[in-house]
Amino acid sequence: MRLLDLSLPPQVSPRRWLAEQAGTVVGFGAYEHLEGQFFHPQKYQLHLYVSPGVRNRGIGTSLYEQTLASLRLANALQIRVWMREDREEGLRFLASRRFVAQMRTFHSALDSAAFDLSRLEKYRRRLEKYGYQFQAFGDLATDPERNRNTYDLYCEVMRDIPAPEPRQMPTLEEYEQKILKSPELFYAYFLALHHGEYVGLCSLLPHGRARHELYADTLGVRRAYRGRGIAQALSYRGIEYAKSHGYSVISADSFVENQRINALLENLGFGNKTVWTLFSKSLNNPSS
């Protein structure tokens, strides 16, 4: 949590409460503003956890009521929380407090260390014969239009990815500031180009403190270029990077209804699939 706080932008303000029993922490409640494209000064992400051995004693309810009281003082309009589909106790807790399901996602992981890259090499080689290039973001530094072209591609791709509500896309200036201030987010950032046009991207990010794991943040191709194997070729670059830099796992989240990306992930070998549901609750009504 300490490391998370250091990475949060100034406008994202977390608050937390601990539940203790005989000097031992047995639960916590917390919230912070939604980040990035979903930031809103009156919308928050909720976290609530109680140790299994002390559940059903009212600890979770007390933590929830404490966080809810604080949220009302902050004039919150909405709170969101993610819950894994097999956590029946948690699902009942949310249902009894009138949380509403918004969207479902798959979380899965790939054993990148054991992955056979020859499975994807054919896509890269075939496309290269037709003038496609697959470059790392850093290798395109000599292109004066790199940042703008990457930004335009990123915005187009992100608008096609399902979300609980419309995204607030950054400005080009904000995007370039991110490149300058957080260069580590672009180390494993790969782009597909066709005769100078930026047509696809694959972005892998460090996964918290897990030194062996990368998170597949974004994989997308412009609509006019889909169905040609570009996503597979970009996946080759991403998995190649993971293998060569000692990352044995790549994890990913995908919207349940996004059949195209789910088929790709399954074909690549992403497994250990779990389903998570995003729930939300409106706080406009004082009785809610």
113 and 47 part of one domain: no
Say what the pLDDT of residue 12 is. Answer: 65
Cα 44 to Cα 42: distance, rounded to the nearest angstrom: 7
The domain that holds 31 is classified in CATH as 3.40.630.30
Contact indicator for 232, 119 with CB cutoff of 8 Å: no
The answer to whether residue 56 is domain-embedded is yes
User: Hey, how many other C-beta atoms are within 10 angstroms of the C-beta on 24?
Assistant: 9
117 and 94 part of one domain: no
116 and 169 part of one domain: yes
222 and 245 part of one domain: yes
pTM attached to this predicted model: 0.85
Instruction: Kindly state the DSSP code that residue 267 receives in the 8-state scheme.
Output: H
The answer to whether residue 184 is domain-embedded is yes
Task: Tell me the pLDDT tens digit for each residue of 154-189.
Answer: 999 998 888 887 888 889 999 999 999 989 999 999
114 and 251 part of one domain: yes
Q: Which of 278, 254, 281 is nearest to 83 (CA)?
A: 278
Task: Tell me the pLDDT tens digit for each residue of 46-60.
Answer: 999 999 999 999 999
Q: What is the CA radius of gyration of the chain?
A: 21
125 and 242 part of one domain: yes
Element (H, E) at 101: strand 100-111
84 and 122 part of one domain: no
124 and 255 part of one domain: yes
Q: 139 is written with which tokens?
A: 């290798």
100 and 138 part of one domain: no
Q: Is the pLDDT of residue 24 over 60?
A: yes
The answer to whether residue 287 is domain-embedded is no
SS3 content of the chain, % helix, strand, coil (to 5): 40, 35, 25
Cα 205 to Cα 189: distance, rounded to the nearest angstrom: 8
Cα 150 to Cα 261: distance, rounded to the nearest angstrom: 21
Say what the pLDDT of residue 9 is. Answer: 66
The answer to whether residue 233 is domain-embedded is yes
99 and 117 part of one domain: no
Q: 235 is written with which tokens?
A: 């996946």
pLDDT tier for residue 33 given thresholds of 50, 70 and 90: confident
Instruction: Kindly state the DSSP code that residue 222 receives in the 8-state scheme.
Output: -
Instruction: Kindly state the DSSP code that residue 197 receives in the 8-state scheme.
Output: E
Label residue 148 left, alpha or beta by phi (over 0 means left) and psi (-120 to 50 means alpha). Answer: alpha
Contact indicator for 191, 237 with CB cutoff of 8 Å: no
Say what the pLDDT of residue 166 is. Answer: 80
Say what the pLDDT of residue 21 is. Answer: 93
Say what the pLDDT of residue 288 is. Answer: 57
Q: How many Å from the N-terminal Cα to the C-terminal Cα in the chain?
A: 29
Say what the pLDDT of residue 224 is. Answer: 95
The stretch 248-273 carries a mean pLDDT of 93
Three-state SS at 51 = coil
Say what the pLDDT of residue 10 is. Answer: 67
The stretch 226-236 carries a mean pLDDT of 97
The answer to whether residue 151 is domain-embedded is yes
58 and 70 part of one domain: yes
- Structural domains in the chain (count): 2
- What is the domain range of residue 123? 108-274
The answer to whether residue 288 is domain-embedded is no
Say what the pLDDT of residue 287 is. Answer: 54
232 and 89 part of one domain: no
Q: Which of 12, 28, 22, 100 is nearest to 60 (CA)?
A: 28
